[in-house]
Chain A
């Protein structure tokens, strides 16, 4: 295979790029069509501005208020990132402990799974009270708790769903528990961990923004969305939502990039080439 590939490598790269562009074309067309339709319908049906502003107005506000919007976005993103780091680290640590002492796991996991079903966002007013309305920690805690459970459940599954022969093999080499974790369980858990981290990156952003709806500094994105909506400045609200979306997507892609770099060995990495 590689023997044929070398002389035409340049052509192949070009071909792959073209194919990449072509595979994106339908999605791009839907985007352009959707925005065009939105713009057209808002004008044609004379929709009230506070119900749905046209995309052109949103983009104008997005550009005119860019400093304030991105400043607020960055503030909120830092809260989300802080919560993500705290929640995911705690979940990874707890998963390691529970995987090592399985008796503990059967005592604790039912509650963890039950807690996973609790709408944690509902606790936002309470954490605001506990840690202070203006303290970014009150939002980080919500984001952290949101991240904690999916990461815990997935990481634990990854650590424990190891082929029994894998463990027997390691025991035949007289490996202890630490070595079995280092060489088998942890590498085995990475694909599970990363799919949970991607979910957690989205949840962290949601946690931070919604936490801010219940109060926070004026420089936070969630507070700006709430206030501008209350003042009928819907273009600003939509532009702020756009900022939150862009940051959320970038966060997700950053985690996906780390995944690709960490797990070059994984079959999915090769298939996506």
Chain B
């Protein structure tokens, strides 16, 4: 059962500053292959920490992480996941093509194989023609597409994304949401996506994980039953709005209460 899961988290906990700050507590989550999971919650709920624990960039204090049937550490060493950050994290001294080829270089691919793969990826993220440009010549949205192409370059089964579109304007974000779903469907990879945006989480995901802050824990799992593939019309369906409302209520503490607003009014 767990061997089949893409990611399996059991009784996960993480404390920082010698046990003074509890970032994550009692996290249990199974992610099946091919799922698109969003982690959503207010700042400080530990969603980025959780993503990094899955990627073995942060060690958990307690509990167990299994990725592709192996330990998170082994999965990282085997290159089982690609990661995208809020900043594109491109290297200015490399051209776009060589930024995308970086992980392939490190895995020892031949120059010929790399060139072929980069050409495919440039098409996939619709940047053909920009191979020789440097990152600082591109717009924020284009930079993030390069970063996604780099994460997908070695065809990892799992894609970890930490608020990848958080710094982009709304229109660019919606366009890239559509592109990301197309790429997800073409590659069949599993995605774990951290976001602040309720609409983005509903539009993209097959399931949304709602988290609460201090200590960060999972308060709700909301399946998103919108039909696939999702299109521009998806955002106008009544079901989309129902799910947005449901998710908003879940974020504001369950049964429609708005504790912060009420506290402010009193």
Contact = CB atoms under 8 A, between A and B. Distances in A.
A173 B103 contact: yes
B203 interface: no
A27 interface: no
A171 interface: yes
A184 B106 CA distance: 13
A166 to B, nearest CB: 6
Contacts of B4: none
Contact of A168 (B52, B92, B136): B52
B109 interface: no
Contacts of A263: 93
B55 interface: yes
Given A174-B76, A267-B136, A165 B87 contact: yes
B139 to A, nearest CB: 15
Contacts of A266: 92-93
A33 B69 CA distance: 79
A190 B94 CA distance: 14
Contacts of A187: 91, 93
Interface string B229-265: 0000000000000000000000000000000000000
A172 B159 CA distance: 12
A265 interface: yes
A60 interface: no
Contacts of A166: 89, 91
Interface size class of B (residues with CB under 8 A): 20 to 34
Contacts of B107: 173
B153 to A, nearest CB: 10
Question: What's the dominant secondary structure at chain A's contact region?
Answer: helix
A163 B77 contact: no
A163 B87 contact: yes
A165 B106 contact: no
Contacts of B89: 163, 165-166, 169
Contacts of A179: 106
Contacts of B92: 265-267
B57 A265 contact: no
B94 A173 contact: no
A37 interface: no
Contacts of A163: 87, 89
A265 B106 contact: no
B79 A174 contact: yes
Contacts of B102: 173, 183
Contacts of B93: 187, 190, 263, 265-266
A169 B83 contact: yes
Given A165-B87, A265-B94, A173 B136 contact: no
A175 interface: yes
Given A163-B89, A169-B89, A175 B106 contact: yes
B134 A265 contact: yes
Given A166-B89, A265-B92, A266-B92, A172 B55 contact: yes
Contacts of B91: 166, 183-184, 187
B103 A171 contact: no
Contacts of A265: 92-95, 134
Interface string A173-203: 1110001000110010010000000000000
Contacts of B83: 168-169, 172
Interface in B54-82: 55, 57, 76-77, 79, 81-82
B77 A174 contact: yes
B128 to A, nearest CB: 16
B85 interface: yes
B52 A173 contact: no
Nearest to A179: B106
Nearest to A184: B91
A168 B85 contact: yes
B253 to A, nearest CB: 32
Interface in A150-179: 163, 165-166, 168-169, 171-175, 179
B22 to A, nearest CB: 22
A160 B136 CA distance: 21
A271 B185 CA distance: 41
A172 B81 contact: yes
Interface of A: 163, 165-166, 168-169, 171-175, 179, 183-184, 187, 190, 263, 265-267, 270
Interface of B: 52, 55, 57, 76-77, 79, 81-83, 85-87, 89, 91-95, 102-103, 106-107, 134, 136
